[in-house]
Amino acid sequence: MQTTTFAPGQQAWFFRSGDNITIPAVGGSVAGPASISNKPNPLDPLYLPLGSMNSWEDDMKGSDVEIWGPAPGRIQLIGLHETKVKSMRKFTSQQMGAIAAELFYRPLTELTAASTQFASLTGTKREGWLHVQRYDNNNNLWITEDTFGALRVTGGIKSKDGAIIEPEFEQIVYYSLLNTTGINE
C-alpha cells in the first residue's frame, strides 16, 4: 500500500439486529433475522442510511499482562500478553433521520419516516450491523467495513441559531467472525 495524503469522505448504514435480511451476505448468512452470526449483504435495501459523516474516529483500547524474565542479572520486560481488546468508533453525521431519533430516544418500537409519536426510554440499546464506506478525495472507494455491535447517539441532539443538527454516533464493536474490513489501493 502506498503512503498518501487525502481527506476522506465517509458514509454509513445500519441494519438492526432482528430485522429480516432480504439479501444475505456471502459466507454462511441466510435470509431471516439479522444477528451477530447472520449478516446482511451491504446491498440489502433494509439498511438504514445514517448519512454523510463530517467527523470520524476509530479507537482500540486494551489491556496487557507484562511478561518478565531474567536478562541475566535482573528481571526485564520480555513481552506483553494482550488480554482484552475493545474497538469503538465515533462519528458525526450531517443528517438527521428516524434511525438517529430511535438510537437517541430508545423507544420500544422501531421508528420510520412515517412515525408520529413514541414513548421515550421504553426500549434498550440497539444492536446490529454497521456498514461503512470511506472514499478518498477523488471519490475512490478506500475502505469498507461491516461490524456488529451496539450503536447509539451520544452527546445529545443539539441545534443553535439555526445550525444543522449533527447527531453524534458511537458504536461499540462486538467480536464476530463475520466482521470484515476491506481496503482498496
CATH of 9-183, one of 3.30.310, 1.10.260, 2.30.110, 3.40.50: 2.30.110
- Distance from CA of residue 140 to its chain's centroid? 21
Instruction: Count Cβ atoms below 10 Å from residue 19 Cβ, excluding itself.
Output: 18
Distant-in-sequence, close-in-space partners of 6: CB < 8 Å, separation ≥ 6: 136, 137, 138
Please write down the long-range contacts of 152-155, taking CB distance under 8 Å and 24 or more positions apart. 152/103, 152/104, 152/125, 152/126, 153/100, 153/103, 153/104, 154/90
* pLDDT value at residue 17: 96
Write down the pLDDT at residue 1. Answer: 53
pTM given for the model: 0.86
Query: In the chain, which residue ranges form alpha helices assigned H by DSSP?
Result: 98-105
Q: How far is CA 123 from CA 88, 118, 127, 182, in A?
A: 22, 11, 12, 33
Residues of the chain short of pLDDT 50, as ranges, are none
Strand (E) or helix (H) holding 141: strand 141-154
Distance from C-alpha of 70 to C-alpha of 19, rounded to nearest angstrom: 56
pLDDT in tens, 34-83: 999 999 999 999 999 998 888 888 888 888 899 999 988 899 998 988 88
Give the span between the Cα atoms of 172 and 165, in whole angstroms: 23
- Given this model, what pLDDT does residue 152 score? 94
**The C-alpha cell of 106 is what?**
430508545
Question: What backbone phi and psi angles, to 5 degrees, belong to 161?
Answer: 50, 45
CA distance 3 to 44: 33
DSSP-based three-state secondary structure for 32: strand
At which residue does the C-alpha cell 467472525 appear?
Answer: 177
What's residue 13's pLDDT? Answer: 95
